[in-house]
Structure 1
Amino acid sequence: MRQTPNALMLFAAGFGTRMGALTANRPKPLIPVAGKPLIDHTLDIATEAGIGNIVVNTHYLPDMMQAHLGGCDITLSHEDEILETGGGLRHALPLLGPDPVFTLNTDAVWTGPNPLQTLAAAWDPDRMDALLLLIPLPQAKGHRGKGDFIPDENGTLTRGAGLVYSGAQIIKTNTLPAIPQTKFSLNLLWDEMIKSRRLFGIPHSGNWCDVGTPQGIEIAQTMIGTRDV
């Protein structure tokens, strides 16, 4: 097993319904923020981290995603139906390989250290089945929840109002094939890892913005210091 994962799953298949009219004729990852599509902000993170194998899942308006990513060294994993995060990751396993992988949502903008490099530096597969990057509430821009996880002094996670899950993690995928459901969330795996005390988290030291709604676009552009569109 590789100490540092070299495969990345980018989640980009959803309908983006919270974006309203902005996703009527394009996938949410192609909505521009500060002059470039959301997915390009995410790919900048992957490039800086030196990830060798990048897989993007598609479903809604896949031809547009394929056209946008056509010049990139990226593999597409098309889903005929929305499989959610767990099902989508399992569907892409033949492209990602058997080792632990990074996963990253494509509807957020970041400041501060590279999130994938932060995760890689803290990853310990002997103790961890997954390592989540978490955001303290004051740094979670555009987010209205009360937090998702509470770490103990060792970083072991339980659920509760505390830190916000950022959409970035390293996760082992070996248990995915045994799950009977076709569509399922990665929460299913996390709950089992919590029971065995093998779900860990670390905080991100920069800011993070959830760009899930039209209002999130302006918040993100303010956070990164530009209001250009």
Structure 2
Amino acid sequence: MIATMIFAAGLGTRMRPLTNERPKAMVAVAGRPLIDHALDQVAGPGPTVINTHHFADCLHTYLAGRNITLVHESPMLLETGGGLRNALPHLGDGPVLTMNADACWTGPRARDSLLKAWDPSRMDGLLLMVPRDRAIGPSRASFAIGPDGRLTRDASGLIYTGAGIVRTEGLSAFGDDVFSLRDLWLAMMNRGRLFGVEHPGHWADVGTPDGIAAAEAMLAGAA
């Protein structure tokens, strides 16, 4: 069983004033908090871990009673790489499905698309990508998928959706407590072990208040 890590510890500065009294993961889209949209995409039979920091008590209260482990980051935020490494005692030694808690989706579940494409014999990492014409919001393109599925850096290519699978052994190479998963991906890319798969549905970045209405319109169009 693959473990799942959802990143929900950010300060949500771009989402202010909605995050002045709650974490970004508790901002509602289409009547449901973003954390539930994320869980819809990645929840599975393995362990599920969510990191917290900003207004952590809101998430603790909302998720109470669910089979989810919350890992609080204090006094400082560890970013995605440091946050994942900090949560490893609860995730085990195997690959981890990672997810950012600030997006909405149509189409197949992110978990299903990733697990279908995951091949640990070839891959140390697998990122779920979406073309610009099926992405809503200001996110920048950053990768291209080659004929063999390997990712290369390409600012005119595909947009990372915030979901992926990574082997975690490489996290031990980073000396700092605070670092991004992007650093781990680049190391994987240099070894030819970072791959991508395209999400066949639509995807909306919900990082700002303006993104809420756009995401709700996308979800309504898929109903």
Aligned-partner SS, 1:117: helix
* Structure-to-structure mapping, 1:77-96, within 5 angstroms: 77-80=71-74, 81-96=76-91
* Structure-to-structure mapping, 1:176-215, within 5 angstroms: 176-215=171-210
Aligned CA distance change for structure 1 residues 106 and 144 (closer, same or farther; 3 Å): closer
Q: What RMSD in Å do the two structures reach over aligned CA positions?
A: 1.1
What residue number does 2:169 align with?
A: 174
2:121 is the alignment partner of 1:151: no
Distance, in Å, in 2 between the alignment partners of 1:46 and 1:39 is 11
Structure 1 residue 144, shift from structure 2 partner: 4.6
* Structure-to-structure mapping, 1:48-197, within 5 angstroms: 50-80=44-74, 81-145=76-140, 147-161=141-155, 162-197=157-192
Letter in 1 for 2:80: T
Q: TM-score, normalised by structure 1?
A: 0.93
Distance, in Å, in 2 between the alignment partners of 1:88 and 1:62 is 15
Q: How many residues align?
A: 219
CA distances 1:193-216 after superposition (whole Å, capped 9, x unpaired): 111110000100000000000010
Runs of 4+ off more than 6 Å = none
2:215 is the alignment partner of 1:220: yes
Aligned CA distance change for structure 1 residues 36 and 125 (closer, same or farther; 3 Å): same
Aligned-partner SS, 2:220: coil
* Structure-to-structure mapping, 1:8-19, within 5 angstroms: 8-19=4-15
Distance, in Å, in 2 between the alignment partners of 1:20 and 1:193 is 35
What residue number does 1:27 align with?
A: 23
Distance, in Å, in 1 between the alignment partners of 2:16 and 2:214 is 17
* Unmatched runs of 5 consecutive residues or more in structure 2: none
What percent of counterpart residues are identical?
52
Structure 1 residue 143, shift from structure 2 partner: 2.6
Letter in 1 for 2:93: P
Assess if the C-alpha contact under 8 Å between 2:4 and 2:48 holds in 1: yes
Structure 1 residue 106, shift from structure 2 partner: 0.6
Assess if the C-alpha contact under 8 Å between 1:143 and 1:209 holds in 2: no
